[in-house]
Homo-oligomer: A and B are copies of this chain.
Amino acid sequence: MPFALKHSQALRLWHDVGLGIVRSGEPDLSSRQITILLTVYMEPPPHTVRGLAAKLNVTKPVITRALDTMGSLDLVSRRRDDSDRRNVVVQRTVQGSLYLERFSDLIIEKARTLP
Main secondary structure on A side of the interface with B: helix
A18 adjacent to B31 (CB under 8 Å): yes
- Residues on B with C-beta less than 8 A from A15 are 35, 38-39, 42
- Oligomer: number of copies: 2
* Residue in B10, B26, B42, B108 whose beta carbon sits within 8 Å of that of A5 in the complex: B108
Within 8 A of B (CB), among A18-67: 18-19, 21-23, 25-26, 28-32, 34-35, 38-39, 41-42, 55-58
Q: Assuming the A-B contacts A15-B38, A32-B28, are A2 and B112 also in contact, with contact meaning beta carbons closer than 8 angstroms in the complex?
A: yes
A13 at the interface (CB under 8 A from B): yes
- Residues on B with C-beta less than 8 A from A13 are 3, 107
A114 at the interface (CB under 8 A from B): yes
A-B contact pairs, 10 of them (CB 8 A): A3-B13, A7-B108, A8-B104, A10-B103, A11-B100, A11-B103, A14-B34, A18-B38, A22-B32, A28-B31
